[in-house]
Amino acid sequence: MKFGVVVFPGSNCDHDMIYVLRDKLGQEVVELWHKNSELQGVDAVVLPGGFSYGDYLRSGAIARYSPIMNSVVEFAKNGGHVFGICNGFQILCEADLLPGTLLHNLNQKFICRNTYIKAANHNNAFTRDVPDTAIRIPIAHGEGRYYADDETIAKIEQNDQVLFHYCDENGNISERANPNGSVKNIAGICNAERNVYGMMPHPERASDEELANKDGEYILQSFIDFVTGKIKN
């Protein structure tokens, strides 16, 4: 499988993602510079974490207009698989590829720590092979509070578009386990067509035995297995 990892000015998790996909999970990976528009025949596009354009205006608001994003939007609308992590999730929302937005954390502070999340269902590429138990995935964001209006939340819940909820280590979903104030403890969502995915926690930072945490591999390997199965068919 061939992944394209987009590099924006200010991306700082691009090489983390490249390392995990290529060296730990054995996938082909190419870097896609944000000023180019060619996707180089990739099977999936990744928008990595970081601080694209210094998070001026709003996180992801300027990156959404980088030349590469025209191709990413077209790719996604034609059924191509796209996922965004942290800043990548913010960019996908700014580009209207995912509903809702990411607001400043409720405590108005940057949060960098391990959190626990739990799959909301198993009917999509990101969660199909993820255990039903809580998994430990780190977060690092200042604008990670997912928000959408009541009508949108009802729609994405009805369509099973929620990927993960923040929870405690025992899998209990509660206000206390919500690190940033996200509505309904939502940590990640997908689009209605289930080919565009976004989440705030960083699975690529929890995919190496040297970090004493490989829970992120459940998510990334699930995605790879799902998409490669689709390609083969």
Q: Which of 34, 81, 165, 202 is catalytic?
A: 202
Token pair of 124 as six digits: 């999509």
Q: Does the annotation count 34 as an active-site position?
A: no
In whole angstroms, what is the distance from residue 123 CA to residue 215 CA? 19
Identified catalytic residue from 13, 34, 81, 86: 86
Residue 34's Cα: distance from chain center in Å? Answer: 18
**Among all chains, which residue has been given the structure tokens 């309904």?**
184
> Known catalytic residue: 13?
no
How far apart (Å, rounded) are the C-alpha atoms in residues 97 and 110?
A: 25
Do 143 and 59 contact (CB within 8 A), yes or no?
A: yes
86 part of the active site: yes
Contacts of 183 (CB under 8 A, 6+ apart): 145, 146, 147, 148, 153
Q: Please report which helix (H) or strand (E) contains residue 186, including its range.
A: strand 186-190
CA distance linking residue 130 with residue 205, whole number of Å: 16
Q: Which of 141, 143, 167, 204 is catalytic?
A: 204
- At residue 15's C-alpha, the angle toward residues 12 and 19, to 5°, is 150
Question: What residues are labeled active site?
Answer: 86, 202, 204
